[in-house]
Amino acid sequence: MMDVVTIGETMILFQPVEEKPLKYTSLFSKTIGGAESNVAIGLSRLGKNTRWIGRLGNDPFGDVILGTLAGENIDISRVIRDKTHHTSVYFKDVYRLGDPSVYYYRKGSATSVWGPEHIQDDWFTGARILHMTGITPALGEKTFAFTKECMKRARHLGLTISFDPNIRFKLWDRDEARKSLLELIPLCDIFLPGLEEAQFLFGHKTPEELGKEIVQLGPHTVAIKLGEDGVFGIGKNGTGVIVPGLKVNKVVDTVGAGDAFASGFLAIVAEDVQQFSLKKALEWGNKMGSIVIQGKGDWEILPSLNEMKDIKEIIR
């Protein structure tokens, strides 16, 4: 049994080794980064059986991504290697604390040519949950159709569908983003937006108002991330739950915080997709997000299950 299947783009990430702006550095570290693979790594470290499905170039960068994910005990058996399109690359400027500047080079990549015709039913066989984000549909009309069909196919096969809008305005304009994401929300069971994302889609309302409106569209569970204020969750019964934010020692790099939240949240959902504890899922998501923002890297400091039990040593 596969607890969670994630589908999406993973890229090679270069970031400066030295504590100086990107344009002045000559030394870079190489790692990987991608919303869905970040979630897969987080879940795997929490003891869940996880599969990542992606489309990579038949190049050394694709080899690095596969080797890294295999080393994290993630099933990569369905990954597609494309001989005519390259693996995506991006650079992160992290010489200041907080939100970094990120520069993507993904045009003509293997992921950008994904279409509904590539989907296979065996991607979802034996799995409980499918998790996707709004990054893949933002790459083009074909990738939007691909994302939509993945969600439909997985639901037909009985999976619970989790969706994080993960809005990137560098990838599409605001009107297109709003229209497309509103089309995908009714196809998911669990919706995981940040407060600003939810307000972009549904107007400037309170988390409670937003949550009640979103569950009317189809999702049975909504978790709205409130940053340092914590998270608000609501289910079909209309009862809202607020979990306060955790005070952290310092904020180093916020990239990957939403993915860390998703991995903690879905780890609890995977225990019983029909009757999971919403409060516990919110708490685990909060803890995971609070840990990952205190170090560099999208996924490297994601905790193991044992480390989660020692959470007081990481967060004060």
Q: What is the mean pLDDT of the chain?
A: 91
The residue written with tokens 């915080």 in the block is 257
Task: Report, as an integer, the average pLDDT of 76-95.
Answer: 92
Hey, what CATH class is 2-313 in?
Answer: alpha beta
Beta strands in the chain (DSSP E): 2-7, 11-16, 28-33, 50-53, 55-57, 80-82, 89-93, 101-105, 127-133, 160-164, 190-191, 221-225, 231-235, 240-243
Q: Which of 4-13, 79-88, 157-166, 233-242 has the lowest mean pLDDT?
A: 233-242
Tell me: pLDDT of 313 over 70.
no
Paired residues of 194 in beta bridges: 225
**Is 223 in contact with 281 (CB distance < 8 Å)?**
yes
Q: Determine the Cα–Cα distance for residues 19 and 114; give it in Å rounded to an integer.
A: 37
pLDDT at 316 > cutoff 80: no
**How high is the pLDDT of residue 92?**
85
Q: Which of 210-219, 259-268, 300-309 is the least confident region? A: 300-309
214 contacts 185 by C-beta, under 8 angstroms: yes
Q: Is 173 tagged catalytic?
A: no
> Which residues, at least 6 apart from 126, have a Cβ–Cβ distance to it below 8 Å?
1, 2
Q: How far apart (Å, rounded) are the C-alpha atoms in residues 120 and 100?
A: 36
pLDDT, tens only, 28-78: 999 999 999 999 999 999 999 999 999 999 999 999 999 999 999 999 999
Strands in 11-16's sheet, in edge-to-edge order, are 28-33, 11-16, 89-93, 101-105
Catalytic residue among 259, 272, 298, 310: 259
- Spans of all domains in the chain: 2-313
Burial class (CB in 10 A: 0-12, 13-18, 19+), 44: buried
> Is residue 314's pLDDT more than 60?
no
Q: How confident is the model at residue 311 (pLDDT cuts 50, 70, 90)?
A: low
